[in-house]
Structure 1
Amino acid sequence: MADTAQYLTLGIDQELFGIDIRNVREILDMRPISKLPHAPNFLLGMIDVRGAGYPIVDLRTKLGLVRAEPTEATRIIILDVPVKGRTLGVGFVADRVFEVTGLDDDQTEAAPDVGGRWQSNYIAGIGRKGESFIVVFDLERLMETDDLPAFAGAPAEEAA
């Protein structure tokens, strides 16, 4: 029997993406984001969540899409992201968040390296759910090339 991994599915533009649920800390409604001077264009700024600061990444910009104004459906997903051997708290802005869904390992295949719209080094694989394809992010590779501010991201909370 195939192992089933759980993914939070989210929409960016017209595409469906998945993030391993083990990396998801919480999902927040869009809120004001404090700008950071001289930040890279994908870094919208910082927010405070219960006394901890989180850098907020615009996934649209990160993926080479045009930035969009937030809507009622826009969400900030607070994640524990592995970066250079440690885990940082980072927020990703997504156009929409759908649901948590299971994908069997045998339903997930390697990302096709066809160039195209998405940089395949950000992609852990492509999952199939019914007639839809879910592009699963490799969070470490998505973030590893970036110079997030040194203070960025609250450390992951220790498991109790």
Structure 2
Amino acid sequence: MRSPIACFLALLAPVAAADLQPLAEEELQAVDGQAGISLAVDLHINRNPANTRCSGGCGARLTIRPGQSDGYIVLDNIQGRFSFEGVTVDIEHIDSGFNGEGAQFNQQALKIGLQAATFDQAQITLAGSNQSQPGPGFTQTNLLTYQTSGSVHLQGNVYIFGTP
């Protein structure tokens, strides 16, 4: 009697012997598939008492410098559990919909699909800053803080539109 591993390897032998062949442009254009990326993430971000810019310590900080701007968009004091299952990232051409504005836009947009996103005991502050990290001359203007003491469940699509 053969072992299950030997049987499995015997089935794979013809596949292992197959070689890769380049496709002509016409053959490649006939291939149909799904583009994009699918992700699953489960993050637990705790307050760090060593970060003293917040009373009692701070959570994580993410800074984004748009283009050649002098300032930064800041997601600050990020805390809690963030779980994303089946997050998809894709590029979609928008040329219709959006109450008629899609036809005027007629460009590509980044589409982030949320199949199941959950935030538990979460907090995040949206701010503007003159520096990426606190230091001499640092100023930050907090615009809003979102906090939940329970769970929030999200699903749907987020579109990010570029500007000329």
- TM-score for the superposition, normalised by structure 1: 0.28
Greater RCO, 1 or 2 (C-alpha within 8 Å, sep 6+): 1
Give the structure-2-normalised TM-score: 0.27
